[in-house]
Amino acid sequence: MPSSENVALVTGASSGVGEATARELAADGYRVVLAARREAALRDVADGVEAAGGTARVHPTDVTDRDAVADLVGTTVDEWGRIDAVVNNAGVMSTDPVDDADPEDWRRMVEVNLLGLMTLTREALPTMYEQGHGDVVFVSSVNARKSSPGGSGYCASKAGVNGFAESLRQEAADEEVRVTVIEPGLVATEMQSDEVTAEMPTLDPEAVARAVGYALAQPRDVAVGELLIRPTTQAF
């Protein structure tokens, strides 16, 4: 279990899986840094964390902005002197057939879902290496393993996450930095329409958050490389 000094940085923390993960880790004893674009929503999450006895800081951040990401990491280290876990959760999704897709949607998904987490991870690693420990968690998707019609851009971005994570795992092992990929099935969040969540089996965001908490709670000599979690009745 983490000490009360440990710090977790969570992106996409204004709602959904990011919010649930921030609450989960705060309950587990982490001081949490909440990053997303929507400051008002982040402050609501922080208020909830602190009302439950946790410690939270709000840092509005667009993960596609390299300077903003560097400021996020620098401010965290300046205040607390460490980063014990980074949960790369920020993501966007659009679904269209390839012949009808907007290339700008593809670009946005790659920039947020893939390049954003690559940039944040790169910024945080020197602190983790200096500490001699750390955890990097990537919230990927079942679609990293199995593509679906209409999901070309999203599936490609998430497959890229898995490839990046595996390379990092091999590079960071000697530095005592663990790398975990969480691959959820369909989750009931803002990314899904009401029609989709009404027709398809979904996970609650808290289910994904518990998976993150499980991975981080393992003894330091145990690394949970991948967790694939789906609704029991999800067939694919």
Q: Does residue 1 surpass a pLDDT of 60?
A: no
pLDDT in tens, 175-193: 999 999 999 999 988 766 5
DSSP designation for 191: T
Q: Is 167 exposed, middle or buried (0-12, 13-18, 19+ CB in 10 A)?
A: exposed
Q: Is 30 a catalytic residue?
A: no
Structure pTM?
Answer: 0.93
Q: Which residues pair with 11 in a beta bridge?
A: 35
Measured distance CA(212)–CA(170) in Å, rounded: 20
Q: How confident is the model at residue 8 (pLDDT cuts 50, 70, 90)?
A: very high
The closest alpha carbon to 161, from 136, 147, 181, belongs to: 181
pLDDT in tens, 71-109: 999 999 999 999 999 999 999 998 899 999 999 999 999
Task: Look at the block and give the residue holding tokens 């290496």.
Answer: 129
Measured distance CA(230)–CA(185) in Å, rounded: 4
Average pLDDT across the chain, whole number:
94
Rounded mean pLDDT of 201-214?
Answer: 95
Q: Does residue 236 surpass a pLDDT of 90?
A: no
Per the residue annotation, which of 30, 129, 154, 214 is the catalytic one? 154
3-state SS, residue 228: strand
Beta carbons of 201 and 232 less than 8 angstroms apart: yes
Q: Does residue 4 surpass a pLDDT of 90?
A: no
Residue 70 C-beta-side C-alpha neighbours within 13 Å? 3
Beta carbons of 110 and 153 less than 8 angstroms apart: yes
Residue 106's pLDDT is 95
pLDDT in tens, 115-170: 999 999 999 999 999 999 999 999 999 999 988 888 999 999 999 999 999 999 99
Q: Which residues pair with 180 in a beta bridge?
A: 137
